[in-house]
Amino acid sequence: MHIKSAEFLMSNSDVAKCPKDRLPEYAFIGRSNVGKSSLINMLMQRKSLAKTSGRPGKTQLINHFIINKNWYLVDLPGYGYARVSKTSKKIFQKFITNYFEKREQMVLAFVLIDCRLEPQPIDLEFMEWMGESGIPFNIIFTKADKLKPKALERNVAAYTEKMLEAWEEMPPFFITSASDATGRDEVLNYINQLNESIVN
């Protein structure tokens, strides 16, 4: 897929105020500091389409970008927990769960995982919630340039093993690096295929 145009459209925390048209949406989400803004900028080949920050948790809103005038890239906040006092149960922030439960145009979510880290409970729990809620997602492993190929292979294998404790199969995944554009074509071509299958 060739990116002809990528424009910021709107930010808000209320799903009801998201764009009303029916263009397909692809949501990007991950823990704070997973490299989401850098990945989005790399995919779109724009230096500062998504705002990067050394301070984790900069994205606090649902950000819509319209790409090639025919699909939306949605930049979601890093997921954290909100504690519900009565049972002290932990749930993900309400407007993130609202977005996924109510946004019918959302075709697929990309859950970003830092390939250098061992499986983190919050990532595993978030994907478990996605699975239980019937929300389709793929995994994007970020920061691949920070590891040697063998170490990367080992980490992804360890992640797969961990996922298979709870899942029948590993969700589709991509290996990416924002600094050298690893995985860019694969992710964009995948989105392109999905867009074409929706139209046909």
Question: Which pLDDT tens digits describe the chain residue by residue (200 residues)?
Answer: 999 999 999 998 889 999 999 999 999 999 888 999 999 999 999 888 887 655 544 457 899 999 999 999 999 988 876 565 555 556 677 878 899 999 999 999 999 999 999 999 999 999 999 999 999 999 999 999 999 999 999 999 999 999 999 999 999 999 999 999 999 999 999 999 999 998 76
The pTM for the full model equals: 0.91
Task: Identify the structural domains of the chain with CATH numbers, from first to last.
Answer: 6-199 (3.40.50.300)
Dist. CA 41–CA 43, nearest whole Å: 6
